[in-house]
């Protein structure tokens, strides 16, 4: 049988080869034809937006066309909300200076619709978590969203569950800033402003909802300070995790805490000019969540103490004997299921960069939102850390590397389980001295 098959292959190798080549040529021709005859945007769309020359949107446009009424051009922002944010910020900055009838305002709305039309984006109601795509919640004739059909918007992973609280706060900040512009900016459009505020509320509510509510928040009574509640906001880049409560990426959790508070700063400005009861409730909800996020870092017993999620102490690597390692960066993340911290392996230089980013986030949290929680847990001497406070330990790790013979950009010796690899020059700047001094003297 094998011999006869071999003879047949040899006999027909030329016809087979010709057929394969013909198929390849046909496919290439189809691709070329589709490229040549693809729709081209009407001239002047990008120019009419009056974006700065240096922006994060690029020069490419894509057509959104769905019969009978959807037909518009936007930037191809089809990534995560974290990655769409820079272009959205550029668009909003340009919109603030333009009159109410300028084309950029409709363009931004269409851009938001495009972002919300991506496959991982789902709409649902808090009391009915059945997920819907954009097409089920938008009137395609008018382009208006039907808020009676949803009050939550989630970016899901490959298993259709929420997975990244950081992306949610990124989009929230943009939407609340857009609401501010259109409600109390120089060229008000109240209806548009209320729409963006409602979208922002729907996006951030997934973060403040708890895991049983299909959200991204694990909320517990703090074990060390039981008079307080603690909250961890789950986020993980991996889109194949089976549940939403597995994410334990430190910089993402810290950004969420920071931006929950920053969202309230925007909403406070709105509340001063056009107060509403619903917004007052939202501000209180976000402030409470940010404060509980700070509590989690220092007043939770952490995974080792029986809590379902980690505290900040557990991001300090330990030796096989369980002693904290001073000459090592913080873990990039903790796998909550396996209760084990880990560093980035492929882009190893980012472990240094993320330690710096964690410091920057802590600086912003304590400086901007310190009044939302009892922050003494960050500065109390810890026997576990050899008498140092948590903040001092984190800062000393950084300054010791900076002052070492190897400096910030080369590998330094560490202990088993540690990581003291250098940053990549040009990728991440050293932490500003003002940040280092603020954290050290906090």
Note whether 101 and 250 are same-domain residues. yes
Give ∠ CA 238-240-246 in degrees, rounded to 5. Answer: 70
| pLDDT mean over 22-29 | 54
What is the spatial distance between Cα 157 and Cα 240, in angstroms, rounded to a whole number? 6
pTM over 0.75: yes
Note whether 211 and 360 are same-domain residues. no
Q: What is the pLDDT of residue 63?
A: 95
Q: How many domains does the chain have?
A: 3
Q: What is the pLDDT of residue 237?
A: 83
Per-position DSSP letters for 307-365, written without gaps between them: -SS--GGGGS-B-TTSPBPSSSPPPSEEETTTTEEE--STTTTHHHHHHHHHHHHHHHH
Note whether 185 and 200 are same-domain residues. yes
What is the spatial distance between Cα 171 and Cα 357, in angstroms, rounded to a whole number? 20
Per-position DSSP letters for 140-204, written without gaps between them: TTT--B-GGG-SEEEEB-TTSSB-BHHHHHHHHHHHHHHHHHHHHSSS--HHHHHHHHHHHHHHH
| pLDDT mean over 213-220 | 97
Interval 391-403: pLDDT, tens: 999 999 999 999 9
Note whether 269 and 396 are same-domain residues. no
**Side-chain-side CA neighbours of residue 291 (13 Å):** 13
29 has pLDDT over 50: no
Domain boundary among 293, 311, 329: 311
Interval 144-195: pLDDT, tens: 999 999 999 999 999 999 999 999 999 999 999 999 999 999 999 999 999 9
E strand map for 93-138: 121-125, 128-132
Note whether 94 and 149 are same-domain residues. yes
For the beta carbon of residue 320, count every other beta carbon within 10 angstroms: 8
378 has pLDDT over 50: yes
Note whether 268 and 181 are same-domain residues. yes
Domain boundary among 280, 311, 342: 311
**CA distances in angstroms from 124 to 142, 206, 245, 307, listed in the order given:** 21, 10, 19, 30
Note whether 233 and 350 are same-domain residues. no
What is the spatial distance between Cα 334 and Cα 253, in angstroms, rounded to a whole number? 11
For the beta carbon of residue 136, count every other beta carbon within 10 angstroms: 12
Note whether 198 and 230 are same-domain residues. yes
244 has pLDDT over 90: no
Interval 414-442: pLDDT, tens: 999 999 999 999 888 999 999 999 999 99
Note whether 297 and 387 are same-domain residues. no
Containing domain of residue 297, as a range? 42-311
Assess contact for 169 and 252: CB atoms under 8 A.
no
Task: Give the residue from 354, 311, 349 showing the smallest Cα distance to 331.
Answer: 354
Note whether 215 and 361 are same-domain residues. no
Residue appearing with tokens 């959200």: 215
What is the spatial distance between Cα 260 and Cα 252, in angstroms, rounded to a whole number? 12
For the beta carbon of residue 375, count every other beta carbon within 10 angstroms: 18
Q: What is the pLDDT of residue 37?
A: 46
16 has pLDDT over 70: no
Q: What is the pLDDT of residue 140?
A: 77
First to last CA, the chain: 80
């Amino acid at each position: 049988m094998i011999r006869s098959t071999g003879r047949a292959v040899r006999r027909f190798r030329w016809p087979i080869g010709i057929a394969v080549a013909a198929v390849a040529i046909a496919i290439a021709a189809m691709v070329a034809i589709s490229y040549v005859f693809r729709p081209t945007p009407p001239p002047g769309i990008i120019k009419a937006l009056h974006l700065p020359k240096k922006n994060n949107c690029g020069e490419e446009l894509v057509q959104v066309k769905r019969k009978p009424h959807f037909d518009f051009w936007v930037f191809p922002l089809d990534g995560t909300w974290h990655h769409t944010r820079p272009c959205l910020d550029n668009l909003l900055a340009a919109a603030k200076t333009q009159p109410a009838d300028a084309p950029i305002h409709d363009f931004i709305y269409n851009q938001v619709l495009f972002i919300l039309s991506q496959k991982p984006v789902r709409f649902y109601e808090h009391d009915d978590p059945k997920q819907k795509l954009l097409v089920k919640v938008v009137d395609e004739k008018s382009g208006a969203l039907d808020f009676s059909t949803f009050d939550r918007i989630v970016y899901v992973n490959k298993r259709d569950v929420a997975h990244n609280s950081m992306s949610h706060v990124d989009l929230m900040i943009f939407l609340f800033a857009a609401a501010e512009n259109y409600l109390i900016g120089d060229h008000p459009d109240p209806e548009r402003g209320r729409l963006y505020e409602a979208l922002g509320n729907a996006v951030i509510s997934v973060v403040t909802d708890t895991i049983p509510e299909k959200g991204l928040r694990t909320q517990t009574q703090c074990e060390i300070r039981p008079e307080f509640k603690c909250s961890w906001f789950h986020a993980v880049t991996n889109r194949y995790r089976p549940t939403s409560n597995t994410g334990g990426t430190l910089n993402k959790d810290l950004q969420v805490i920071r931006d929950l508070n920053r969202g309230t700063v925007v909403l406070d400005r709105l509340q001063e000019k056009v107060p509403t009861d619903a917004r007052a409730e939202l501000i209180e909800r976000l402030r409470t969540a940010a404060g509980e996020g700070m509590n989690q870092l220092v007043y939770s017993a952490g995974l080792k103490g029986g809590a379902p999620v980690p505290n900040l102490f557990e991001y300090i690597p330990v030796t096989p004997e369980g002693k904290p390692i001073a000459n090592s960066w913080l873990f990039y993340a903790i796998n909550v299921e396996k209760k084990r911290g880990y560093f980035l392996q492929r882009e190893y230089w980012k472990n240094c960069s993320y330690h710096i980013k964690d410091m920057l986030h802590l600086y912003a949290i304590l400086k901007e939102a310190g009044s939302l929680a009892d922050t003494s847990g960050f500065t109390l001497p810890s026997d576990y850390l050899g008498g140092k406070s948590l903040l001092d330990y984190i800062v000393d790790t950084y300054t010791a590397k900076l002052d070492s013979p190897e400096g910030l950009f080369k590998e330094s010796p560490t202990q088993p389980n540690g990581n003291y690899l250098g940053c990549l020059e040009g990728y991440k700047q050293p932490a500003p001295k003002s940040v280092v001094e603020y954290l050290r003297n906090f």
